[in-house]
Amino acid sequence: MSADWLKNRLTDLKYFKWILTNWGSLRKAKYSLAPFFKYWLFYPAPRLFFGRGKALNTSRNIIKNQLGDNLIIPIPVSDVSDKNIYYAGIRDSVDFDAFREVCIENHYNYSQIKPSMTVLDVGAHIGTFTLLASKKVGNSGRVIAVEAEAGNFNQLKKNLELNAIKNVVPVNIALSDLNGRKDFFIAKGSGCHSFFTNPGQEVVDKIKIKVKSLDSLMEEMHLEKIDLLKIDTEGAELEILRGARRTLLRNPNMKMVIAAYHFPKETAEVAEYLRELNFSPRVVPGGFSLVTV
């Protein structure tokens, strides 16, 4: 029994606790909880015996063949009623890991998002953080969800449609420190697509992808202000910040949550760059190191 497997099961128990606490509303809601319980019972065995990599295909098959292509599950938030529930559609165990990290463990500290904010989610994946941010900012706020990879972007749009969300603008592009094209490596796991390759990463394809700077995106969208910037882009965080220099200088009070753990010196380099621009970054240590402002 691996430590990660045990940790995930304990985290899932937090989700069960939330479900039980809000059972009255959830049982009357639009989507049944039965598929989730089936998945939680079926998947741990292959994950435990075959490991995360080999069990990935198993999780996809379970969801595709047994649970109707997408596992639709409620997002745990504090204000719940049967008419006020957000849902996430999950394709496989990688998507569920993202859901667990963002929505249950709150890795990006979404509690700091307030009504009417403008939030920029870079590396939105299937939209787990985007959905939480959408709910927090409300109708008077806005979320820009940037996701480079086509499959993830399509799932992001499905999740927005699933919740009839109107305050999110999805953008299918990769951000960097330049405008042009770059090599982009497609990984077996949907959360690991990147401009870079890592020794333990299983790459299945390499494509050319259009990239632009965050400053250019801001100009195209006629955006002046960002209240919160979240970046998790598998090692491209510093490149993106360098391509956002003008935006950062214009928004000295911007909050930031940056996943800076993808290579050994990334945390220090990201923090130092932000200090050069007169921000006061704080490093949150751990296996999932964050630089926050």
Query: Residues 236-269: pLDDT tens digits?
Result: 999 999 999 999 999 999 999 999 888 888 899 9
Residue 98: predicted pLDDT: 93
Percent of the chain exceeding pLDDT 90 equals 58
Tell me the backbone φ, ψ of residue 186, rounded to 5 degrees.
-90, 120
The larger pLDDT score, comparing residue 259 to residue 42, is at 259
| pLDDT tops 60 at residue 201 | yes
Residue 17: predicted pLDDT: 94
| pLDDT tops 70 at residue 270 | yes
Domains of the chain with CATH codes: 1-105 (no CATH), 109-293 (3.40.50.150)
Token pair for residue 161? Answer: 């449609």
Number of alpha carbons in the 13 Å side-chain half-sphere of residue 235 = 14
| pLDDT tops 60 at residue 1 | no
Residue 190: predicted pLDDT: 77
Residue 151: predicted pLDDT: 93
pTM of the model: 0.93
- Mean pLDDT, residues 231-239: 91
Residue 142's CB: how many other CB atoms inside 10 A? 21
Measured distance CA(138)–CA(115) in Å, rounded: 6
User: Kindly report the CA angle at 238 between 259 and 272, in degrees rounded to 5?
Assistant: 90
- Mean pLDDT, residues 43-68: 79
Tell me the backbone φ, ψ of residue 70, rounded to 5 degrees.
-125, 130
Write the Ramachandran bin of 256: left for phi over 0, alpha for psi from -120 to 50, otherwise beta.
beta
| pLDDT tops 60 at residue 162 | yes
Residue 160: predicted pLDDT: 97
Residue 263: predicted pLDDT: 80
Radius of gyration of the chain (CA): 19
Banded model confidence at residue 196, pLDDT cuts 50, 70, 90? confident
Measured distance CA(174)–CA(291) in Å, rounded: 21
Residue 236's CB: how many other CB atoms inside 10 A? 25
Banded model confidence at residue 60, pLDDT cuts 50, 70, 90? confident
Greatest distance between any 2 Cα atoms in the chain: 52
Measured distance CA(190)–CA(205) in Å, rounded: 12
Residue 82: predicted pLDDT: 63
Length of the chain: 293
Percent of the chain exceeding pLDDT 70 equals 97
Amino acid, res. 49: F
- Mean pLDDT, residues 64-84: 82
- Mean pLDDT, residues 32-36: 90
